[in-house]
């Protein structure tokens, strides 16, 4: 074998080795490509799932935003109602305060009248008690006078009866002696 043939064989062997390396590299690249395609398919599926999840979440967010808007509207309405109610209640409270003040003044007036009436009643009661006391004393005196007069009257009646009895007994004795009937 000459040098050219050897170089040729060597060059062919290197080409074969290079071809084998290229084929091996090609297989490796094909495997990597298949793996990358699998990854891409899986990532595409994940992307579709994520897009679906995002759409669902966006729909949920829109629903929540709508509910939040409705609740905010209700809160605003309730706040307006509260302000109106507070205004009405403030007016009613002021009215009740003024009525309470009027009633308190009436009560104070009635209490003063009651105090005055009680004082007048107590004064009259004291006057009447004094008068009753005087009348009781006077009644006691009158009772004593009456008792004294009754005793005097009884005594006088006894005297008159005794006198009458004495006076009639001598006449009775004389008339029976005379036989006359008395026409008394």
- pLDDT tens across 49-84, in order? 999 999 999 999 999 999 999 999 999 999 999 999
Structure tokens at 7: 């170089």
Please tell me the distance from the alpha carbon of residue 111 to that of residue 155, in angstroms, as a whole number: 63
CA angle 115, 135, 154 (to 5 degrees): 165
Task: Give kind and range of the element (H or E) at residue 74.
Answer: helix 3-178
> So what's the pLDDT on residue 177?
56
Write out residues in the chain with pLDDT < 70, as ranges: 1, 170-184
Structure tokens at 92: 């009613």
pTM: 0.40
């Amino acid at each position: 074998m000459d040098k050219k043939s050897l170089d040729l064989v060597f060059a062919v062997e290197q080409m074969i080795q290079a071809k084998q390396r290229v084929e091996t590299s090609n297989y490796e690249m094909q495997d990597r490509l298949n793996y990358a395609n699998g990854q891409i398919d899986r990532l595409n599926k994940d992307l579709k799932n994520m897009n679906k999840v995002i759409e669902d979440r966006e729909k949920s967010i829109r629903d929540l935003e709508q509910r939040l808007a409705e609740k905010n509207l209700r809160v605003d309405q309730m706040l307006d109602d509260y302000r109106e109610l507070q205004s009405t209640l403030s007016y009613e409270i002021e009215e009740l305060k003024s009525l309470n003040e009027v009633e308190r003044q009436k009560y104070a007036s009635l209490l003063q009248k009651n105090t005055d009436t009680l004082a007048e009643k107590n004064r009259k009661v004291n006057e009447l008690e004094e008068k009753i006391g005087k009348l009781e004393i006077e009644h006691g005196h009158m009772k004593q006078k009456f008792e004294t007069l009754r005793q005097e009257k009884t005594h006088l009646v006894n005297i008159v009866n005794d006198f009458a009895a004495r006076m009639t007994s001598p006449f009775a004795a004389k008339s029976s002696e005379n036989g006359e009937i008395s026409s008394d």
